[in-house]
Amino acid sequence: MRLGVIDIGSNTVHTTVLDAARGIRPVPQASDSVTVKLMRFLTDDGDINEEGVQTITAAVTSAAKVAKQNGADHLLVIATSALREAGNGGEVLAQLEQIVGMPIEVLSAVDEARLTFLAVRRWYGWGAGRLLVLDIGGGSLEIAAGNDELPDTALSVPLGAGRMTRQFLWTNDPPKQSEVAALREYVRHTLLGAIGSRGSTGLTGDHVVATSKTFRSLARLAGMPREVLGSDQRWRMRLAQLEDWVPRLAKLSSADRTALPGIGARRSLQIAAGAVVAEETMRALRIDEVEICPWALREGAILQYLEQSA
């Protein structure tokens, strides 16, 4: 089938059109991404303001056109934490469903972790052993671990890069040292409450994998290429390398960060907060090194859709 996938995230609305069937690797035919950064449009009450509604409406309208222009005969539309948690999220979703002409699947926090884990398992296969998977999105951090296709432990923590930027590093650019310190303390405290004793038991893996644009950008900046079959580059990153870069990132303005390798304009504002979350998560889980997987939530949703459609 020619499948169009619209992923409405906290930071971007991403559209992928691909030829797909169960048991066959999906072949992308077209891709488009529109930056929305919904966290900047949240009111003090947690609603998406009118400008934010207009921004996401325009982005989803564009996404639907991309899918149609590229011949998608099936459509999958998913939404994650930003819309799920917004006070007026239900109203906004109803408007967006009118645009795409179908119900939008709003993923729960655990679903995000579970589907990302499924994608990583399919990418690495059974030979990877027990997987521990980390994913930093705009609104939340997902952590999952397990031996099978679905994790036996999965949790979502409200430590997304966009959310933490909005909460701690929004006023000054570059942020003050005191603001970064407050963010770090909050991340440590929140992780301790979420992970607890599982940090040394259930949340372990033979192979530790990170997904998402935040980890990918950080690995291109602070990590190193890994030799793999094929022409594509794969990346890995050690905790020590990340620790070396976090204070340097925090001292740069968002504009200056775009001059660094791997840091694009779309994520330059929130990469410092994302780096702190990544560093503290690796430290809390006693992770020395992560490998970056190119598949994540979107691919997991596609794999589940194909299996359910068979």
Model confidence at 124, in pLDDT bands (50, 70, 90)?
A: very high
Model confidence at 196, in pLDDT bands (50, 70, 90)?
A: confident
Write down the pLDDT at residue 16. Answer: 95
> For the chain, where do the domains classified as CATH 3.30.420.40 start and end?
2-106
> For the chain, where do the domains classified as CATH 3.30.420.150 start and end?
109-297
- Select from 224, 204, 207, 233 the least CA-distant residue to 294: 233
Which residues share a beta bridge with 207? 131
Query: Per-residue pLDDT for 147 more than 90?
Result: yes
Name residues whose C-beta falls within 8 Å of residue 292's C-beta, 6 or more positions apart in sequence.
209, 210, 211, 215, 216, 219, 223, 234, 235, 236, 237
Given the candidates 3.30.365.10, 3.30.2350.10, 3.30.420.40, 2.40.430.10, the CATH classification of the domain at 2-106 is 3.30.420.40
Q: Domain 109-297: which CATH class? A: alpha beta
pTM, rounded to two decimals: 0.93
Query: Per-residue pLDDT for 250 more than 80?
Result: yes
Query: Per-residue pLDDT for 83 more than 80?
Result: yes
Query: Per-residue pLDDT for 229 more than 60?
Result: no
